[in-house]
Amino acid sequence: MLKLETLISEQDIQRRIEELGAQISKDYDGKEIIMLCVLKGGVMFMTDLAKRVTVPMKMEFMAVSSYGDEYKSSGIVKILKDLDEPIDGKHVLIVEDIIDSGRTLSYLKNILEGRNPSSVKICTLLDKPDQRVVDVEVDYVGFTIPDSFVIGYGLDYHQFYRNLPYIAVNKGE
């Protein structure tokens, strides 16, 4: 059994998302963006963040599998579901749940940059810089957290717990 302890409360998440949404709206003023959610982990963050963005935006979704186990990604990323539209000349904002080693996002960013977009930026709710293996430029970070396995608000433990409205750490087992 997991023994959950709150790391970031629902209220703190929502407050930070308001700030990020305001910042993003300001930075992209006069532009149109494609907000690209990386499934499944980024879905809660994507839907809440999108409500706080005031520039014209489209929602897109990509599913990638990063050949690894529950806790570590390998860096070999397979695209399971691609974007519905081409992105050449577009501003793409990747919306992720968490950056750990950085392997998944650096791989994904490279693929997207090869499609001639105007820009590709990254917005992640959580950043665990202690575990970084690949250098990846992150443009917007919700919270920087220490190296521990977190769940909730989109993040899973064997596919469960994504529906928690807050971020938790396991203090059991």
Q: What is the DSSP string of 138-169?
A: -SEEEEE--SS-EEBTTB-BTTB-TT-SSEEE
Q: Give the Cα separation of 87 and 60 in Å (integer).
A: 11
Residues near Mg ion, by CB under 5 A = 38, 41, 97, 156
Regarding 73 and contact with ligand 5GP (CB under 6 A), the answer is yes
Name the one range near ligand 5GP by CB under 6 A: 15-23, 27-35, 52-60, 91-99.
91-99
Residue 21 interacting entry, from Mg ion, ligand 5GP, none, C-beta within 5 to 8 Å by type: none
Site for ligand 5GP in 126-145 (CB under 6 A): none
Regarding 103 and contact with ligand 5GP (CB under 6 A), the answer is yes
Regarding 155 and contact with ligand 5GP (CB under 6 A), the answer is yes
Asked whether the beta carbons of 112 and 87 are under 8 A apart, the reply is: yes
Name the one range near ligand 5GP by CB under 6 A: 6-14, 21-29, 80-88, 98-106.
98-106
Closer residue to ligand 5GP (CB): 28 or 107? 107
Give CA separation, 19 vs 28, 32, 40, 46, in Å: 14, 19, 23, 14
Q: Give the Cα separation of 108 and 169 in Å (integer).
A: 27
